[in-house]
């Protein structure tokens, strides 16, 4: 099925017991867009990503990725996911981790090696290829985690706080890389608490209590809120939502 949208969510609910982590969430992310999901701790950002990547089952509502209703096994090949808690095998080397994720996606050895060379160059860890992940610093682990999410050349990339604990210089290079991925037509849904990063997104969506309360281009959001920072804009929209 052809779809203009990379991600489409309608009236999405996710309950944990009686608690609604997602409460009628609506979201549309266009193909090739970098969309930033912002919101306080517990707003439901990670839950939304987990439903969209098929890791959590929705309670009700609709969720589609690339025109396919989630969960769907065939779509997982086209999805890349960098979890908030890095999910690497620390007893394996960098190379073995990349190989593991490549095999998981059915890639052959030659293709994995080709992608590995490219990705290790980007994350600047070529020298660390045969080092155990356990021996890497936190920021290095983040870089490996990003490479693992990209090994199979996904069309839609979910990045859950990919730059937490990453030094400023590396954060800049992460964002340069995200722009390169965007140029290739890859869609990115990213969560972050760094508002300076959010301004790099094509559009941002503010989440609160399991739903989207406002969205738009960063500059337009500032204008609408009469704010000079996205933090202040969030407070404006949160207040408006409550009344
Ligand atoms: N497996 C679970 N069981 C019960 N409650 C859960 C579960 N996973 C998440 N929640 C709850 O759902 C709410 C949303 O959590 P979620 O992790 O999606 O927030 P978040 O927006 O990603 O926050 P953060 O910015 O801290 O990462 C929280 O109140 C959390 O406690
Ligand atoms: Mg989270």
Q: What is the CATH number of the domain that holds 190?
A: 3.40.50.300
Continuous segment of H or E residues that includes residue 95: helix 94-104
Residues, the chain: 243
Q: How confident is the model at residue 3 (pLDDT cuts 50, 70, 90)?
A: low
The two structure tokens encoding residue 45: 């950002």
Task: Count structural domains, the chain.
Answer: 1
Ligand 1 pocket, residue 189 CB under 6 Å? no
The two structure tokens encoding residue 62: 């609709």
Q: What is the pLDDT of residue 166?
A: 82
Q: How confident is the model at residue 95 (pLDDT cuts 50, 70, 90)?
A: very high
Of the candidate ranges 83-97, 115-129, 166-180, the one whose mean pLDDT is the lowest: 166-180
Ligand 1 pocket, residue 135 CB under 6 Å? no
What does the pLDDT look like over 131-171, one tens digit per residue? 999 999 988 998 899 999 999 999 999 999 998 878 888 88
Q: What is the pLDDT of residue 148?
A: 95
Ligand 1 pocket, residue 46 CB under 6 Å? yes
Q: What is the pLDDT of residue 2?
A: 54
The reported pTM is 0.94
How does 95-123 read in b/e, with b if 16+ C-beta sit within 10 Å?
bebbbebbeebebeeeebeebbeebbebb
| Residue 139: strand, helix, or coil | helix
Give 55 Cα–ligand 2 centroid separation in angstroms. 14
Q: Express as a percent the part of the chain with pLDDT over 90.
A: 79
Distance between CA 115 and CA 102 in Å, rounded? 9
Ligand 1 pocket, residue 85 CB under 6 Å? no
| Full residue range of the structural domain in which residue 27 is found | 5-242
């Amino acid at each position: 099925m052809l779809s203009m949208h990379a991600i489409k969510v309608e009236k999405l609910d996710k309950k944990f017991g009686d608690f609604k982590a997602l409460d009628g969430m609506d979201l549309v992310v266009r193909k090739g867009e970098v969309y930033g999901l912002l919101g306080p701790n517990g707003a439901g950002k990670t839950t939304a990503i987990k439903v969209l990547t098929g890791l959590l089952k929705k309670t009700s509502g609709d969720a589609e990725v690339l025109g396919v209703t989630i969960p769907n096994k065939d779509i997982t090949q086209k999805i890349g996911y960098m979890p908030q808690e890095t999910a690497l095998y620390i007893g394996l080397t960098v190379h073995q981790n990349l190989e593991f994720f490549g095999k998981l996606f059915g890639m052959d050895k030659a293709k994995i090696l080709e992608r590995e060379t490219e990705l290790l160059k980007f994350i600047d860890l070529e020298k660390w290829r045969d080092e155990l992940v356990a021996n890497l610093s936190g920021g290095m682990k983040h870089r490996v985690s990003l490479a693992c999410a990209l090994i199979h050349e996904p069309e839609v990339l979910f990045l859950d706080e990919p730059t937490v604990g990453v030094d400023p210089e590396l954060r800049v290079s992460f964002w340069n890389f995200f722009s390169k991925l965007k140029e290739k037509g890859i869609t990115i849904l990213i969560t972050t608490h760094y508002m300076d990063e959010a301004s790099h997104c094509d559009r941002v969506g503010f989440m609160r209590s399991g739903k989207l309360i406002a969205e738009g281009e960063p500059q337009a959001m500032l204008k609408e809120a009469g704010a000079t920072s996205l933090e202040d804009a969030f407070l404006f929209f949160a207040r408006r939502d409550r009344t």
